[in-house]
Each structure stands twice: as C-alpha cells, then as structure tokens.
Amino acid sequence: MTEYDLIVIGAGAVGENVADRAVQGGLSAVLVEAELVGGECSYWACMPSKALLRSGSALRAARRVAGAREAVTGDLDVRAVLDRRNAFTSNWSDAGQVDWVRGAGIDLVRGHARFTGPKRIEVTGEDGTVTELVARHAVCVSVGTDPKIPDIPGLAEANPWGSREATSAQEVPASLAILGGGVVASEMATAWATLGSRVTLIARSGLLEGMEPFAGEAVERSLRELGVDVRLHTATERVTRSEDGVHIELGTGESVTASEVLVATGRTPRTGDLGLETIGLTPGDWLRVDDTLQVEGFDWLYATGDVNHRALLTHQGKYQARAAGDVIAARARGLAVSDAPWGTHVATADHATVPQVTFTDPEVASVGLTARQAEEAGYDTRVVDYEIGWVAGASVHADDYAGTARMVVDESRGVLLGVTFVGPDVSEMLQAATIAIVGEVPIERLWHAVPAYPTVNEVWLRLLEAYGRPGAEARTPA
Ligand SMILES: Cc1cc2nc3c(=O)[nH]c(=O)nc-3n(C[C@H](O)[C@H](O)[C@H](O)COP(=O)(O)OP(=O)(O)OC[C@H]3O[C@@H](n4cnc5c(N)ncnc54)[C@H](O)[C@@H]3O)c2cc1C
Ligand SMILES: NC(=O)c1ccc[n+]([C@@H]2O[C@H](COP(=O)([O-])OP(=O)(O)OC[C@H]3O[C@@H](n4cnc5c(N)ncnc54)[C@H](O)[C@@H]3O)[C@@H](O)[C@H]2O)c1
C-alpha cells in the first residue's frame, strides 16, 4: 500500500500535466499508465496524423506558387512520409516521456488502474502483479477515449480500422472507406488520398457540421479534387468482410468495396473497466465536472481531458490540467481558491472560447461560437465575411489563394464571439482571434491592432473595415 497526495489515472498529455502542476505546487503525485506514457495524442492521434498530413501540405504549398511549382517534378515519397511519421512517435516507444516524468519528480506505476473504493486504487501490471495506492487528497481520472463503433450490422465483426490503425498503418491501403464526416474523417481522407489510397468518405451527416458551413463546403470541394468519392447524408446499412475486402451497403441501395474501413464516428470514454461502481458512479459514463474539474458530487475526485467530454482536444485538456493540478494543490494546502470565471483555478475557456485547427486542405481554424451557435445562444449578433484571397499578403502567399474569413460580433457589447478562417496555412492566424475573444477586446480597440503588410493577417483589417469603425462618421453622399 503506497500513499500519495494525488493519484492520476492515465499518463496522456493531460494526466502528465495534472501531475506536473500538482508536484510544482508542493504535492507528491503518482501517474498510473496502462499503455504508453504520452497517451493517444503522441502515438495514435495528433502527432502521427499531422505528420501524415504535413508532407502533402508542403507539396501543395509549393505547387501554388509559380516558380516553385516548376521545381516540383516528382510525387510524394510515401515511404519517407511514413518513416517521418514513425519518427514522430519514436517508433511507439515512450522512453523519452518516461524520462521526463521521472525528471519532473512524478512517480510512475505501469498497469491498469481500477477504483476499489473512495481514494483507493488497485493497479494490475502486465505480469499480473497488483499494486495498491491510496490518495491523501485527490484522484484525477485522465483516461481518455476510444473510437465509438456505431451499431451498424456487421461493422464490429468486419475488423474495422479505428483512429489508431489510421494513424499508424505502415502501408497505404489500395482503397479505404471512411465512415463519418467529422474531423478525423476529413483529416484522414485528406492524408490517405494524398498518399495514394482510393478513398470513399461516407457520412450520414454533412462534412464538419459543427463549424461554419463554408468550412465543410471548401473541404468537400478539395477532397473531391484529391479524388475522394464523397457521399454525404448517406446511411450505412450493413458491413461485411470477405477475401476481396470490406463491402459496405448504403441506404441508397448502392455499395462500396474497399481494402479497409475506418470508423471515425466520434469517441466513447474509457470508463467501462475503471471500478467506477465502487464509488457510486456508472461504468461507461463520461465524468461530468465543474469548472475546477471536480467531478460533480465529490470533493476528492477530478476528471480532465477527453473523459469529461468538455472539449476533446489536447490543448484544451492540457489547459484543464493546469487548472486542476493547481487547484488540487491549493485545496490540499488550504490556500485560497480562485474559482470565479477566468480565475486561476477554472477552465472557463472550455465553454465558448475553444480554438481548433482541422488540418485539411484548406485548413479550418476556428475559435468561439459559429454564427448559428451565437444566434441560438441568444446573442444580438452581426456576421462579417471576407474573402481572404483579396488580401495582398494572401495573393503573394499563393497564386489564386482561395479562402474565407468570418467574424461573429456580439453587437450589444461590441466584442467578438467567434472567428473562423478557412484557407491554405491559416492555422497560425488563429491565436490572434483567440486572444481577441478571450480578452473581450472591444472592436474599436481592435482597429489599433495593426496587421503587418503584406501578410495574410491583413484580413483582420478588411473584416473591421467591412464591419465599420465605431465612432467614425459615415460620409453622406453629396
Ligand atoms: C486521429 C486523431 C487526431 C487528433 N488530432 C488532434 C489534434 O491535431 N489536435 C488536438 O488538439 N487534438 C487532437 N485529437 C484529440 C486528442 O488526441 C485528444 O483530445 C487527447 O489525446 C486527449 O488526451 P487525454 O490525456 O485526455 O487522453 P489520452 O491521450 O487518451 O490518454 C489517456 C491515457 O490513459 C491511459 N489509461 C486509460 N485507462 C486506464 C486505466 N484504467 N489505467 C491506467 N491507464 C489508463 C491510456 O492508456 C492513455 O495513455 C485527435 C484525436 C484523434 C483520434
Ligand atoms: N485537428 C484536430 O484538432 C483533431 C483531429 C482529429 C480529432 N480531433 C478530435 O477528436 C474527436 C473525435 O473526432 P471524430 O471525427 O471521431 O468525431 P466528430 O464528433 O468530429 O465526428 C463524428 C462524425 O461521425 C458521425 N456519426 C456519429 N455517430 C454516427 C453513427 N452512428 N453512424 C454514422 N455516423 C455517425 C457524425 O455525424 C460526425 O460526422 C473530436 O472531438 C475532435 O475534435 C481533433
């Protein structure tokens, strides 16, 4: 039986940060990890998927500029792309991350953790050894999610790819069917089509539906240009696997055959085998938390990252982790807790200020509310759109640059609620929008935030001009 101030279950990017902040705050902490320290993001999600996408994106960028275009005479070196991706995952070795954990003064226990009661955890190692841990102050659950397999007849038996197979495959499948129309489906369709697979994307919805409509429309156009067979608003009725591949029967009466099928239809929490029943919670549920990441109804239990279902993104989970690690340390030491909105110990930004980049071609970079979400939330909104290609910096950046920017304004307060950029290489423009929204910078002050000429960021000035300068007299026609 070993006692720690804090036990963190799950050493993904999020759990690591909870433990690190708590140790920096003066507590003792142990991380329990069943697989690889670093979790999904490092080995089967963000990093390998972005590595798979980046080479194709760099090649397209060169082809968009005359002079450079002529110098690009070959195709992607697929083996080199896959090798680079392998290097990003350290060939699925977590030795480097384990060193970091030790260096940060955090203990590590390898094995599958289960609650046996309040503040009590049992860890079963691969060799069957059992370690019992007790938390003096808190337990934080950071166990992440698995792909959700929808209840489509035959799908589970057809041995489908999930996000792990899609990000770690060592060969390009001759053909790939993708079920889903969200971020994983859009990114993986872009990646594998660029690498030479014949991709069919089947979505019962539209594409990227939670975002501004022009995002999904632009990504759909580019997927079709890449040769992807895009079937939207199409149900999947049945899936079977035979020697010649996977057969997918569609609601339209048509069928699709592919070497592999990727299920990208959302996520399910890894709480099914966590002993939650021993603390009065239901196995398989998401863990609902307050803004200090404390699980509702508990004063010692916290949940951070994907498992709390607030914002399934690494950066947002790590933001929660910083707040959770700090508040656990503050509460354990009897220090003041700053839990008002935007305080030190809360994850306020989870609610309506979440930035996200979808690394498709074009990229989709968005933060805050879409026009529709803002309207549904009851804001008095005004929406301003501008074609990014009309900006001098964009035309220098790429020939025939095509992209759209939108800002959603809260008219009653004169501040931004949401910003979306869709276009080549817009990802790096997102942080300015995040700062404007989180900082609630008044529109009239944004006029003083001057974008350098000629950068693509000049689209900010164009959006403000299209909106109109508060306080400036409009010229009356003579
Ligand atoms: C294909 C794909 C691409 C993505 N790309 C991006 C991106 O570009 N940017 C972005 O921000 N987000 C991206 N995401 C989302 C991102 O991967 C997740 O939000 C993030 O990994 C969540 O981190 P986490 O620490 O909560 O969970 P995880 O990273 O899943 O870590 C949880 C850890 O807990 C361990 N664990 C689980 N149960 C137990 C147990 N009982 N005992 C011990 N250990 C346990 C697991 O082994 C795992 O290591 C992507 C997701 C996918 C699927
Ligand atoms: N670049 C990034 O930031 C990035 C990249 C990949 C994933 N992620 C995150 O990972 C999470 C998971 O991504 P995802 O794409 O799996 O989920 P998602 O929620 O983005 O998309 C799920 C898709 O599956 C469809 N769907 C859901 N249930 C279905 C069913 N029963 N049958 C058919 N279709 C169904 C939905 O209509 C939707 O199109 C997301 O929250 C995302 O933010 C982020």
CA atoms within 13 A on the CB side of 260: 19
190: domain range? 156-265
| Whether 175 and 116 share a structural domain | no
The DSSP line for 84-107 is HHHHHTGGG--HHHHHHHHHTT-E
| Whether 137 and 106 share a structural domain | yes
Task: Confirm whether 253 is domain-assigned.
Answer: yes
| Whether 276 and 320 share a structural domain | yes
Task: Confirm whether 75 is domain-assigned.
Answer: no
Q: Which of 53, 184, 314, 316 to mutate to test the pocket of ligand 2 (most atoms within 8 A of CB)?
A: 184
Task: Confirm whether 81 is domain-assigned.
Answer: no
| Whether 9 and 138 share a structural domain | yes
Which of 284, 315, 343 is a domain's end point? 343
Task: Confirm whether 72 is domain-assigned.
Answer: no
| Whether 215 and 243 share a structural domain | yes
Averages of pLDDT over each 10 residues, the chain, 478 residues: 95 98 98 98 98 98 98 96 98 98 98 98 97 98 98 97 98 98 98 98 97 98 98 98 96 97 98 98 98 98 98 98 98 98 98 98 98 98 98 97 98 98 98 98 97 98 96 71
- CATH number of domain containing 197: 3.50.50.60
SS3 assignment for 308-367: HCCCCCHHHHHHHHHHHHHHHHHHHCCCCCCCCCCCCCCCCHHHHCCEEEECCCCEEEEE
Q: Which of 46, 49, 101, 107 to mutate to test the pocket of ligand 1 (most atoms within 8 A of CB)?
A: 46
| Whether 132 and 243 share a structural domain | no
CB-based pocket (< 6 A), ligand 1: 9-15, 32-35, 39-41, 45-46, 49-50, 112-113, 142-144, 163, 167, 184, 270, 274, 305-306, 312-315, 317
Residue 439 labelled as part of a binding site: no
- CATH number of domain containing 459: 3.30.390.30
Residue 280 labelled as part of a binding site: no
| Whether 220 and 172 share a structural domain | yes
Q: Which of 112, 190, 314, 316 to mutate to test the pocket of ligand 1 (most atoms within 8 A of CB)?
A: 314
| Whether 137 and 281 share a structural domain | yes
Residue 209 Cα to ligand 2 midpoint, Å, equals 10
Residue 385 labelled as part of a binding site: no
Query: How many domains are there within the chain?
Result: 3
Which of 309, 343, 377 is a domain's end point? 343
**Residue 294: DSSP 8-state:** B
Task: Confirm whether 351 is domain-assigned.
Answer: no
Residue 247 Cα to ligand 2 midpoint, Å, equals 22
Residue 29 Cα to ligand 2 midpoint, Å, equals 33
CB-based pocket (< 6 A), ligand 2: 150, 179-185, 187, 203-205, 264-267, 312-313, 356-359
Q: In the prediction, which pLDDT does 478 show?
A: 60
**Residue 23: DSSP 8-state:** H
| Whether 222 and 235 share a structural domain | yes
| Whether 19 and 134 share a structural domain | yes
- CA–CA distance, 473 with 406 (Å, rounded to integer): 25
| Whether 246 and 272 share a structural domain | no
| Whether 18 and 98 share a structural domain | yes
Which of 310, 343, 376 is a domain's end point? 343
Task: Confirm whether 56 is domain-assigned.
Answer: no
Task: Confirm whether 84 is domain-assigned.
Answer: no
Task: Confirm whether 58 is domain-assigned.
Answer: no
Q: What is the pTM of this model?
A: 0.97
- CA–CA distance, 11 with 4 (Å, rounded to integer): 16
